[in-house]
Amino acid sequence: MVFKENPSVYLVTKPAINWSQIANFFIDENVPPIPDSVRAGNDESAAVIEISARMCYMSYGRGRRDITDFINNLLSSKDGSVFEHVNYGFIITGVSRSLTHELVRHRAGFAYSQRSQRYVDETEGTFVIPPALSTTRDATEAARKVLDDALIHASESYVELVNALEKSLPKSIFETNTDRRKAIRQAARSVLPNATETKIFVTANVRALRHFIEMRGAIFADWEIRFLAIEILKLLQEEAPLLFGDFVVEDLGDGTQITYPKYSKV
Ligand SMILES: Cc1cc2nc3c(=O)[nH]c(=O)nc-3n(C[C@H](O)[C@H](O)[C@H](O)COP(=O)(O)OP(=O)(O)OC[C@H]3O[C@@H](n4cnc5c(N)ncnc54)[C@H](O)[C@@H]3O)c2cc1C
């Protein structure tokens, strides 16, 4: 059995611009070339937003010259739709099924692919320890024993159920072995707890990510998803500082962190 305490977050996809096509477009439309028409420079995430936003008024080469000022004006005036053109993809592992149940409630602008408990065997028993029971906290031993015993018991029950179903579900009623394995695992997973570890591929646009981080980085959010939201924020602040730089991270007395943006829900 494996116990995990922290998620791993991999930023695996990000926006890319075909600059030669952008240059052709500027020539065809008789507007100033790069760099006059795109003040974002090499910051491709900001450039996608600038190019799409300037399309609305065909204001290439005109208006606000400073890209930070340009982006902040969009954020403060809630011109949110242009932030939907920029997408980031994450592979997230070491998170619990209860976290992903909360995560997938975020619908608009999100896409998900999650490890299947019907196809993938859970015999190994990998579980995520809630932050309140982390080994880094004092005086958690008694509570940890309760949790560990329950997880061990659940994992053993899963294996027992798989073995029992192997005997009781006749091969003759299934077309393929895969169908039979799925039927066994889909029944056996019913004894797995919320703490069961899962892996998920998440793609979302910047508008949706900002809303997710605001909702799940707030003090009201569960500690596990709050930690994840702040991990994602930190990666995005490095990757796209102009799009996420207005979020502030604060340490709390309970050892956790919260985050909130200057520009709420665009
Ligand atoms: C601290 C906390 C506690 C929570 N507790 C519970 C709980 O006890 N039970 C529970 O069921 N959920 C709970 N939730 C989930 C919450 O209700 C939302 O489902 C979740 O946060 C996703 O938010 P969202 O709908 O704004 O996001 P998204 O689905 O990503 O939508 C983003 C925005 O798009 C707009 N939008 C999306 N879909 C529609 C639509 N169909 N119609 C109109 N506008 C739309 C809305 O403006 C919405 O805010 C909780 C969330 C938090 C942060």
pLDDT in tens, 32-64: 999 889 999 889 999 999 999 999 999 999 998
Which of 81, 101, 106, 107 for a ligand 1 pocket mutation test, highest count of atoms within 8 Å of Cβ?
Answer: 107
Ligand 1 atom nearest 110 alpha carbon: 30
| 211 Cβ inside 6 Å of ligand 1 | yes
What pLDDT sits at residue 65?
87
CB 67 within 8 A of CB 40: yes
What pLDDT sits at residue 135?
82
Is residue 185 part of the annotated active site? The answer reads: no
Q: What whole-number distance in Å separates Cα of residue 171 and Cα of residue 150?
A: 32
Query: Mean per-residue pLDDT for 127-152?
Result: 92
Query: Mean per-residue pLDDT for 138-157?
Result: 93
Q: Please check the confidence at residue 227 and state whether its pLDDT lies above 90.
A: yes
What pLDDT sits at residue 28?
97
Nearest Cα residue to atom 22 of ligand 1: 106
What pLDDT sits at residue 42?
86
Give the domain ranges of the chain.
15-84, 136-194
194 phi and psi angles, rounded to 5 deg: -55, -30
**90 token code pair:** 């994450």
Mean pLDDT of the chain: 96
- Taking each helix axis from N to C end, the angle separating 44-57 and 67-76, rounded to the nearest 10 degrees, works out to 70
| 258 Cβ inside 6 Å of ligand 1 | no
What pLDDT sits at residue 203?
98
Q: Please check the confidence at residue 185 and state whether its pLDDT lies above 90.
A: yes
What pLDDT sits at residue 137?
85
What pLDDT sits at residue 164?
98
What pLDDT sits at residue 139?
77
**What CA–CA distances, in Å, run from 1 to 56, 83, 196?**
55, 42, 11
Q: How far is the centre of ligand 1, averaged over its atoms, from the C-alpha of 266 (Å)?
A: 15
What pLDDT sits at residue 131?
95
Query: Mean per-residue pLDDT for 172-192?
Result: 97
What pLDDT sits at residue 138?
81
Proportion of the chain above pLDDT 70, given as a percent: 100
Q: How far is the centre of ligand 1, averaged over its atoms, from the C-alpha of 222 (Å)?
A: 15
What is the predicted ipTM?
Answer: 0.97
Nearest Cα residue to atom 43 of ligand 1: 108
| 57 Cβ inside 6 Å of ligand 1 | no
Predicted confidence band at 225 (pLDDT cuts at 50, 70, 90)?
A: very high
Q: Of the listed 207, 210, 216, 226, which one is catalytic?
A: 216
Between 66-75, 130-139, 196-205, 234-243, the lowest mean confidence (pLDDT) is in 130-139
